[in-house]
Amino acid sequence: MKIFLAFAFLIKFSTSVPVNNGQLDNANLTEFMGSRIYVPGEDLTRFGINSDNTTIFEAQFAPHFGVNNGQIMTFAIWTSVNTAKLVFFHGKTYEERTRFDLSQAPEILKHDKFDNERPTVLYLHGYLENLECESIHVIVDAYLQRNDHNIIVLDWSKLAYGLYFMGAVPNLQKLSDPLSDSILDLINAGLDINKLHVVGHSLGGQLAGATAKHIKEKSNKALKLRRISALDPAFPGFYPQMFYNHIDKYDAKFVDVIHTNGAMAGAPISTGTVDFWPNSGEFLQPGCMEAVCSHHRSWRYWAESVASKDGEQNFPAVKCTSWSDFKTGRCDEDNFTYMGIACPTTVVGDYYLETNKAGPYAKGTAGMDFY
């Protein structure tokens, strides 16, 4: 049942894949495990590789799907990892930023606004996202407001677009290797690995895990990231672990996971050192009518915890064996910790809490008093 729900979500999400200059909103595009594109009534008509390393699919649609009869639409799946960039935010506004190729990572440390005494956050966005998306704006703005981190965002938007199983997920695997080289280059150039915090949403959470695995392998396990925070890490293709390795508690010294749409877009099982399950962590979050809204709540909760040092402990959560036990009060209320940036790196297990339907989402200690 959970596998079916995940694919149902993916089908709905895939209908917004960019096509030429418009959006394929009405064509009901679906796909299954990367083996074929299904368009009701028509088959895939062409497949090829462009000179700029983009994979091209062309499909023909029937008129009742909202396009002219016989019209050919093109889908591009970017396969060149050279399109990924590291973006360093170095001012008081979102617009004050500088882009670097992955091979230029050490140059970030030479920027006059980079402060090696501060912790550094590396944020990895999710599927179909780019620098103009609300999620990245909200995350970056939260850190800018906090004003105590170096902020780097991996822009892998051209690789994260296109079909999920035939484009974004394989591209993630390709990108994790050179991204691990970039992080190792930063460390060799003087970045303190113990001050680096990798945060990833959705596919970005899985990318964080894949990259961390490469870092351990390339350093013969001598190096391990201090902390990875995975915000509703992507479910389809990673659980159960059939095709790709998913993020797990061994990828860093500490891995905290926030589940907000488990069994649909996000991971359906505990997969970190500590796992947080706000409002059960599955299906729909309070105030959400669609899975995408719930999937996005993970980065909204995270950003709210980041934005204010005074409010970073506003998401207390209690350790419990299940949401059912939480609802009926069968938890040790003295065994609690904090979801978000303030989470201590010593806690383990599963923690539950309740949030508000709209921002500010944190309920403070009342969030542990659902029962």
pLDDT of residue 309: 84
Those residues whose C-beta lies under 8 Å from the C-beta of residue 317, and which sit 6 or more positions away, are 276, 278, 336, 337, 338, 339, 351, 352, 353, 367, 368
| Position 371 confidence tier, pLDDT thresholds 50, 70, 90 | low
C-beta separation of 235 from 265 below 8 A: yes
Per-domain boundaries in the chain: 2-78, 81-368
Q: What is the DSSP string of 326-370?
A: HHTT-S-TTSEEE-STT--TT--EEEEE---SSSS---GGGGG--
Examine the pLDDT at 168 and tell me if it is beyond 80. Answer: yes
Q: How far apart are CA 320 and CA 90, in angstroms?
A: 41
C-beta separation of 247 from 271 below 8 A: yes
Span 303-334, pLDDT tens digits: 999 998 888 899 999 999 999 999 999 998 88
Span 76-104, pLDDT tens digits: 555 678 899 999 999 999 999 999 999 99
Query: CA distances (Å), 117 to each of 97, 113, 196, 331, 345, in order?
Result: 20, 12, 11, 40, 20
pLDDT of residue 45: 38
Cis omega (within 30 of 0) for bond into 240: yes
pLDDT of residue 316: 97
Span 54-73, pLDDT tens digits: 555 544 443 333 344 444 44
CATH number for the domain formed by residue range(s) 81-368: 3.40.50.1820
